Structure 1
Amino acid sequence: MNRRALLKALGSTMLLTGGVLPPVVFSQTVPNVTSPLFHVFGTLPEPVEIKRVFAAGAPAGVMLNSLTPKQLLGWPFALPENALPWLSEHSRQLPVVGRLAGRGSTISTEQLLALKPDVIVDVGDVNAHYLSLAQQFSEQTGIPYILVEGRIEDTPEQLRVLGTVLGHQRHGQQLANAAQEILDDIAAKKSAYKGDMPSMYLARSADGLETGAGQSTHSEVIRLVGAENVAGTMEGEQLVRVSMEQVLVWNPDVILTQDVAFYRDVYQNPLWQDIPAVKNKKVVFVPTVPFGWLDVPPSINRLFGALWLSGWLYGVEQKRMVEQLRHLFILYFAFDPGIEALQALITSPVDFA
């Protein structure tokens, strides 16, 4: 049993940093909520008292927009234009308030305090650095800070526990159940599948030579559905630059991309012509609305990617796929895009990018 599984089995709420930082402290009103995925600094208010929630980064923003949109103070990032038609009117109207997490903070401490959040929520990678920052910021401002580990396999627990903490236990459980159904369905398909799994390469950036290394969150969906990530043996948990020579050595059967420029160029680019995925027309553009279905940001939007990619891999009927995706849109984004729009998105996702 790995360390995370062991902690879950024991129901431990200790931090995963060897006890360097204080243990997780949950509000007295939710004493039965314990999870090794959650690291809380400061004392949480009672759920009924939490009215204003600040999302520290993009993954938290997307998750909170589904879980507690009325309490979300605003988006940590500016929504891309192509996202707007796929979101509820409320979500479209939320202001951009900036972020604490990610590649550089875009909000000052003074600006954040002026928003008067009752709690800060961050979702994503957890390490000693992020734990220390969360602790320091909570101590500096007096605002409780919830840091949640963000692996896709843990999405049901993330939603269930966060829903309970923020006073939306029923809705959180509903979202968690839907996430678990997707994960269970994928696991069943993997178990029943008897064919050979294709090797896949995630081509990020316009030249296609950026990809997710090893255990990177950027390639989690590929691993989840059971395909072979050709970059899976590379060390690291982030994005890496690779050479064309390395891609040729990997020789992937399928190339996944969310970059329009790369997708439109790859079949004419002589550098890529000897790759099986290119020769066999298996360069697949992954939908990106309202957010990237693979990794941008790495939040609940990846459930859409997992559902879609597993359906593509295991031959799920398009009608069934559209029904499932429509259900997810309604549940997670409070918006019904309709069958025709989803069919068009599945058929030609690059047109909506």
Structure 2
Amino acid sequence: MRRKERRESMKKHRQLLALFICLVMSVSLLTGYSETKAATEEPTQSAEQDATQETAETREITDMAGRKVTVPTAENIESVFSAGPVAAIFLYMVVPDKLLGWNYELNDVEKSIILDKYQDLPNFGMGDAVNYEAVIAANPTIAINSGKINDAMVSDCDALSESLGIPVVAVDNELNNSAEAFRFMGELLGVEDHAEELAQYAEQVFTDINVLSDIPEEKKVSVYFGNGEDSLETAPRGSQHAQILDAINAVNVADLELGDGSRVQISAEQLLAWDPDVIVVNGEPKADKSGSSAAEDILSNPDYASLKAVQDQKVYGTPNAPFSWVDRPAGPNRLIGMRWFSALIYPEYIKCDINEEIHKFFDLFYHVDLSDEQLENVLKGTL
């Protein structure tokens, strides 16, 4: 009997021991699962947070060339590299504090208007002469390339982005798209209010010159626009560098094929044959030759004495402070040139106080309040 009870007692102990072991194993498994779950969830949550943060700090935009570009949000764009002079001018007009530098050394004329704090920004070069190492070392957030929108422009933007390792945004520099360009840059860089002011000014310029579209053929003024030290380089009708002449309904006497370059070289004999009503010359910025100096050369040259424009004293140099008002570079600096040029050749149609307009433009676009003396020198091209 005692033996039977002993066996039953041992059986119960074994059952209890087995139950205890099962409980211990269950607790261990549950604990391990909990730790494993926590370990796997934490990185996932962290990755999700990083992705959310990345989305909050960047955005995908469509630039003016139709390219999809991921760029930082406006508040995270600290500095911008300009791929060329037109982009630099756009940046200086819209938000100068984000301009990384210039593309050449500013001359005295440009420095006479550009605010002191921006005059000594680095010169990073342009085109094939860009100093990529210096740009990368300066650590810009993005770059802007401004020019005519075409396949070459798209390729240039993509190549520049690969070279610099940063997003490159394309901005259209067509004169009649100036307002759109200002609004685009304002949204890109977080300065919508100021950019809207610039855009509205640009639109008003085109509205004001619209009256010129109805000028009868017999009242249209024929114009020769010259560039270079001898003023015998010209921009043909319909070309990007002659956009102002087309916009103000002037007759560009240079009805020529453009070819591969941006301008066409002509002869003095060709200019004499065209015999335009008005001659406007830009001079040669690379040789520090002003438009007013180039105009004096033509007026005093006996070879040109028979020209109607010379006899009527209608040979003019383009104002060039801080940048040429008509061309070189072909950027938004031309907006004030449209007002000046249209009032110059069509005074009976364009009724505006050009001095007041110049004051307004320089204040709004170049952040400077011109003195009367500066204004006089700007118009004379003697700055």
Partner residue of 1:338 out of 348, 357, 371: 371
- Is the contact made by 1:254 and 1:277 (CA closer than 8 Å) also made in structure 2? yes
1:152-180 per-position Cα deviation (integer Å, ceiling 9, x unaligned):
11100011111111111121111111111
Correspondence 1:144 to 2:167? yes
Q: Which residue is equivalent to 2:118?
A: 91
Q: Distance in 2 between matches of 1:120 and 1:41?
A: 15
Name the amino acid aligned to 1:70: D
Cα offset for 1:183?
1.3
Q: Which residue is equivalent to 1:351?
A: 382
Correspondence 1:159 to 2:153? no
Q: Distance in 1 between matches of 2:122 and 2:57?
A: 33
Greater shift, 177-186 or 260-269, is seen at 260-269
Q: Which residue is equivalent to 2:344?
A: 312
Partner residue of 1:214 out of 237, 240, 243: 237
Q: SS of the counterpart of 1:266?
A: helix
Cα offset for 1:328?
0.6
Q: Which residue is equivalent to 2:191?
A: 168
Q: SS of the counterpart of 1:206?
A: coil
Q: SS of the counterpart of 1:208?
A: coil
Q: Which residue is equivalent to 1:280?
A: 312
Say if 1:29 and 1:170 are closer, same or farther in 2 by CA, change over 3 A. Answer: farther
Q: Which residue is equivalent to 2:282?
A: 258
Cα offset for 1:305?
0.7
Task: Report matched runs for 1:44-59 at 5 Å.
Answer: 44-59=71-86
Aligned residues: 318
Task: Report matched runs for 1:10-89 at 5 Å.
Answer: 37-40=64-67, 42-89=69-116
Q: Distance in 2 between matches of 1:250 and 1:243?
A: 11
1:204-262 per-position Cα deviation (integer Å, ceiling 9, x unaligned):
11212111123322211111111111114434471110122222222211110122443
Segments of structure 2 that go 5 or more residues without pairing to the other structure are: 1-55, 284-289
Say if 1:30 and 1:254 are closer, same or farther in 2 by CA, change over 3 A. Answer: farther
Alignment TM-score, normalising by the size of structure 1 = 0.82
Q: SS of the counterpart of 1:219?
A: helix
- Is the contact made by 2:258 and 2:264 (CA closer than 8 Å) also made in structure 1? no
- Is the contact made by 1:42 and 1:142 (CA closer than 8 Å) also made in structure 2? no
Q: Distance in 2 between matches of 1:100 and 1:343?
A: 32
Say if 1:139 and 1:34 are closer, same or farther in 2 by CA, change over 3 A. Answer: closer
Q: Distance in 1 between matches of 2:163 and 2:327?
A: 32
Say if 1:133 and 1:345 are closer, same or farther in 2 by CA, change over 3 A. Answer: closer
Q: Which residue is equivalent to 2:253?
A: 230
Q: SS of the counterpart of 1:98?
A: coil
Q: Distance in 2 between matches of 1:85 and 1:137?
A: 32
Correspondence 1:119 to 2:142? yes
Name the amino acid aligned to 1:270: P
Name the amino acid aligned to 1:327: K
Q: Which residue is equivalent to 1:247?
A: 271
- Is the contact made by 1:121 and 1:145 (CA closer than 8 Å) also made in structure 2? yes
1:46-103 per-position Cα deviation (integer Å, ceiling 9, x unaligned):
111111111110011111001010111111221110222222233334x1331343xx
Name the amino acid aligned to 1:65: Y
- Structure with higher Rg: it is 2
Q: Which residue is equivalent to 1:198?
A: 221
- Is the contact made by 2:319 and 2:381 (CA closer than 8 Å) also made in structure 1? yes
1:254-275 per-position Cα deviation (integer Å, ceiling 9, x unaligned):
1101224432221232321222
Cα offset for 1:125?
2.4
Name the amino acid aligned to 2:153: Y
- Is the contact made by 1:41 and 1:146 (CA closer than 8 Å) also made in structure 2? no
Name the amino acid aligned to 2:65: F
Percentage identity across aligned positions?
28
Partner residue of 1:289 out of 316, 321, 324: 321
1:298-317 per-position Cα deviation (integer Å, ceiling 9, x unaligned):
11110111111112223279
Partner residue of 2:205 out of 158, 166, 182: 182
Cα offset for 1:142?
2.7
- Is the contact made by 1:208 and 1:262 (CA closer than 8 Å) also made in structure 2? yes
Q: Distance in 1 between matches of 2:319 and 2:362?
A: 13
Q: Distance in 2 between matches of 1:131 and 1:34?
A: 12
- Is the contact made by 2:81 and 2:99 (CA closer than 8 Å) also made in structure 1? yes
Q: Which residue is equivalent to 1:269?
A: 301
Greater shift, 241-250 or 325-334, is seen at 241-250
Cα offset for 1:194?
8.6
Say if 1:196 and 1:277 are closer, same or farther in 2 by CA, change over 3 A. Answer: same
Q: SS of the counterpart of 1:70?
A: helix
Q: SS of the counterpart of 2:340?
A: helix
Name the amino acid aligned to 1:175: L
Segments of structure 1 that go 5 or more residues without pairing to the other structure are: 1-26
Alignment root-mean-square deviation, CA: 2.5
Name the amino acid aligned to 1:335: V
Q: SS of the counterpart of 2:96?
A: coil
